Structure 1
Amino acid sequence: MSRTTEKVDVPAVLRAARAVKKATLAEVGAHAGYSPSAMSRILNGRMTVGDVALLRIAQFLDIPPQRLGLDIDTASTSPARRAVAARVTAGRESEDEVRRRSFFALGAAGIGAAAVGSGPAHAAPPPGSQGGDPLERALFDPAPPVRLSDLAAALTRARADFRAARYDRLRTTLPALLSGAEAERDATSGLRRERANAALARAHVIATEVAVKDSADYAWVTADRALTAARASGSPVAVGEAARVLAITMRRSGRITSAVQLLTATAVGFDGDDGAEALAVRTSLLLTAAYTSATGGDASGAHSLIEEAQETAGRVPPGLVGALFTVEATAEQCTLYRIGLATALGDPDTGVRHALGLDPTRMPTAERRARYLTDTARVWDALGEDRRTYNALLAMERTAPEEVRRPSVRAITARLVHSPTRLPGLRPFATRTGAFTA
């Protein structure tokens, strides 16, 4: 058995497979002969293991050895190792195996700091992630049920924290919400179970939004669970919200066409429904589809979709605030997405015109205002306007301090550090946001 020459992000593959199998660190470690803390270091890339140990982990997580860059030569291995290899590659048709194949077929194993975000491959983890992310642990650790009334209150607080860009707080409070909602769902039936599924779906939607901002591998898992719970709830609005965040994870793993298909197919399901919530969800789906098409280089499709989104947004009653929407359906929101479209399509000059024509104070939340400043910084960065890029980042820090610590934003800051343009205060800014270490 030997390593192939193909470069593989082994920790990312292991983390994704563990998420699909819903295995705890203790379970994986017990099979491979490591403590939970050692397994945490292995899965986070802080500890390496030999091929035989890696093969044992692969066996337990149902990972083909080739996915880990292992070239198994059965003629040169012992009977015991050949048995392990045979078991790993047997392709057993359990439910977990089917889910694993679908997961990897869509490229989820490649999701990681280098593949998901635009930040550096070895960017520092976000605040609160050291020593194991509590959000990730909540996906596997059991918890007592939480009453529906308490779930509703917790979801309201979580949505308020997200809109205010208080991600550190969400990393602390969401784990109990997720595990408690899942326990309540599993302990109930009938209408109560549907309501618990709706609450669980929306909790996972917010968790996915936070995970995407962190460029965390488990964003795929939370998004998948959001859609599963949403479908079980029978709520079309919950399905639309969940489909949107799942498509975002697909886009970030390179599955552009599949993501656009999911978004547009889900949007079609709202055709003919002129209810306020239906129109708002349809708008958000079309906006995300437009940006996704743009990232794939489809200018015609992107512009067609955003025009359709603009028309739908125009029919949403003024002042509507959806129950748990993380993206508002407004004219300003459509303009915001046009900035991202222009940048993705390599037309930053058009992006600048949209950015200068949008009043960020009309954006309803700190999270959306920070998104405007992020897109504005990217536009100026694409044009080589270092000073204006830096000014946008400083404004972002004043608006939503935790946004400037995102891996994708830190990547812009890191580039500015090495720019020949003299920008007063840049080094301290880069240091406190994690983009530069002296």
Structure 2
Amino acid sequence: MRRRNLLLLGFAATASLAIPSASAAASTEPSRADPADSLVELLYAPPPPASGTSLPQLGQVLATARAHFSASRYHDLGAGLPGLISTAESHRDSSSGSARERAHALTARGYVLATELAAKRHSDLAWATADRAVQAARQSGDPVVIGEAVRVLAITMRRAGRPAAAVGLLERTAVDLDGHGPAARAVAASLWMTAAYTAACAHGASTAYDLLAGAAEAVDRLPAGLPQRRLFTVEATQAQVDLYRIGVHTALGEPDQAVPYAKRINPAALPTTERQARWGTDTARMWMRLGDQQRTLTALQFVDRIAPEEARRPALQALTSELLYAAMPTPGVRDFAHRTGVLV
């Protein structure tokens, strides 16, 4: 009863963020609506904040939102973000001292999730949400939150064709975080990984290799048993470094060098559905660049099986289209294209 009341309080003015059961999720066909559409409302006509929600309660609602992201339930995430963020902003505007800093941190993390969602949907709203995430994070004074916000801003910069600036921002922030304790250093490791992939997308091979080495070294320096739950997306582990190696080598045009890393990662051992789907996405791109269309389709089918909303993202639909319209289409790709909305 207490949890039910918390969720009702937290989102009285918006759609609920309650996590659906596994059976409900499995039986529901993903909606054709873009889950990032709700961000327009968030930015330009925010809903009224839910009254009666304390900061600790709002922290629990944020944890539910993060669980939606980790499980690749993007429609549920998008439905709840406006209420979550507007309530956090209301606390920020009416608080002072440490309570205000906490509200800034909750606001920033809400906007981090909004940017993650916008980036996955290739929405230009990511620029606005990333900027708000960074501004709120800096006001919070929490180095971990600042690192999270900078990471999503850098991803937005890379997607907008500014990879060099993004790499510079990530490197500077990672260095700054190194002196703020183990949790901040774990975030710094994730920034090195993101910087390596960003450099690879700009065809900077030597820079990408150096940054990957820095990420691996940063992970090695972390104390054993460090809780990873403060990070939204990327755990500071060697498995995550290996996952980034797949993307880096593929982006650099050397997918053959990515194959050993793809094969040695057990996707089921990755910590979240979103990360498992990322393995499937990166290996699909790797096999496509190697000309193995059957393995590409198998990887895409893996993504669809564990995270249907991931398989319907623009990037994966483009890869499915590439398979569909190849000179010799792979058996089964047409059915897959219908299933994932590429063919209607």
Same fold (TM over 0.5): yes
Partners of 1:436 and 1:258 in 2: how far apart?
38
Please tell me the residue identity of whatever aligns with 2:81.
L
Residue-by-residue CA offset, 1:213-263 (whole Å, 9 max, x unaligned): 011110111111000000000101100000000000000000111101110
Match of 2:314 among 407, 411, 414: 407
Structure 2: distance between partners of 1:401 and 1:172: 17
- Measured in 2, the distance between the counterparts of 1:270 and 1:388 equals 40
Q: Could you tell me which of 137, 140, 144 is aligned with 2:49?
A: 144
Partner AA of 2:193 in structure 1: L
* Match of residue 45 from structure 1: none
Residue 262 of structure 2: aligned partner: 355
Q: Are 1:308 and 2:240 an aligned pair?
A: no
Kindly indicate whether the alpha-carbon contact (under 8 Å) linking 1:287 and 1:305 is maintained by their aligned counterparts in 2.
yes
Distance 1:259 1:422 in 2: 37
Contact persistence 2:323–2:329 (CA under 8 A): no
Residue 309 of structure 1 deviates from its aligned partner by: 0.5
2:172 is the counterpart of 1:284: no
2:187/2:231 contact within 8 Å kept: no
2-structure distance, mates of 1:137, 1:338: 37
Aligned to 1:344: 251
Contact kept? 1:139, 1:178, Cα under 8 Å: no
Q: 2:203 aligns to what?
A: 297
1:103 is matched with which residue?
Answer: none
Counterpart CA distance in 1 for 2:170 and 2:330 is 41
User: Does the aligned pair in 1 maintain the 2:144–2:187 contact within 8 Å?
Assistant: yes
- 1:135 pairs, out of 25, 39, 43, with 39
Trace 1:320-399 onto structure 2 (pairs within 5 A).
320-399=227-306
Change (3 A) 1:231 1:319: closer
Give the SS at the match of 2:102: helix
Contact 1:360 1:372 survives alignment (8 Å): yes
More helix by share: 2
Cα pair 1:128 1:171 within 8 Å, conserved:
no
Q: Mark the CA change 1:144 to 1:269 in structure 2 (over 3 Å): closer, same or farther.
A: same
Is residue 2:325 matched to residue 1:418?
yes
TM-score under structure 2 normalisation? 0.86
Question: Which residue number corresponds to residue 167 of structure 2?
Answer: 260
SS in 1 for 2:83: helix
Q: 2 CA distance for matches of 1:325 and 1:278? A: 13
1:212 & 1:153 partners in 2: Cα distance? Answer: 24
1:251 counterpart = 2:139:
no
> Paired residue for 1:428, among 310, 315, 335?
335
Residue 194 of structure 1 contacts residue 232 of structure 1 at CA under 8 Å; is this kept in 2? Answer: yes
State the 1:265 CA deviation: 0.5
Gaps of 5+ in 1: 1-125
- Aligned pairs for 1:148-297 within 5 A: 148-273=55-180, 275-297=181-203
Q: Tell me the alpha carbon deviations over residues 253-287 of structure 1, each in whole angstroms, 9 at most, x when there is no partner.
A: 001111011100001102344x3212210100110
1:36-68 Cα deviation digits (max 9, x unpaired): xxxxxxxxxxxxxxxxxxxxxxxxxxxxxxxxx
C-alpha contact (below 8 Å) 1:386/1:421 kept by paired residues: no
Q: Which sits farther off after the overlay, 207-216 or 356-365? A: 356-365
Q: 1:6-25 to 2 correspondence within 5 Å? A: none
Partner Cα separation in structure 2 for residue 175 and residue 150 of structure 1 = 16
1:98 is matched with which residue? none
CA-CA distance at 1:133 after TM superposition: 1.4
Larger Rg: 1
Unaligned stretches of 5+ in structure 2?
1-30
Q: Cα offset for 1:305?
A: 0.7
Q: Is the 8 A contact 2:182 2:226 kept in 1?
A: no
8 Å CA contact 1:370, 1:400 repeated in 2: yes
Q: Which amino acid aligns with 1:140?
A: Y
1:129 positional shift: 2.9
Distance, in Å, in 1 between the alignment partners of 2:269 and 2:327 is: 35
Higher mean alpha-carbon deviation, 140-149 vs 390-399, is at: 140-149
Residues of 1 paired with 2:284 and 2:308: CA distance?
15
State the distance in 2 between where 1:144 and 1:371 align: 34
By how many angstroms is 1:422 displaced?
4.5
Report how many aligned residue pairs link the two structures. 311
Residue 326 of structure 1 deviates from its aligned partner by 1.5
Amino acid at match of 2:311: V
**CA deviation profile, 1:366-422 (whole Å, cap 9, x unmatched):** 100000010000001111111010000001111111100010110010111112435
Letter in 1 for 2:209: H
Amino acid in structure 2 at the alignment position of 1:129: D
Mapped partners of 2:283, 2:217: distance in 1: 24
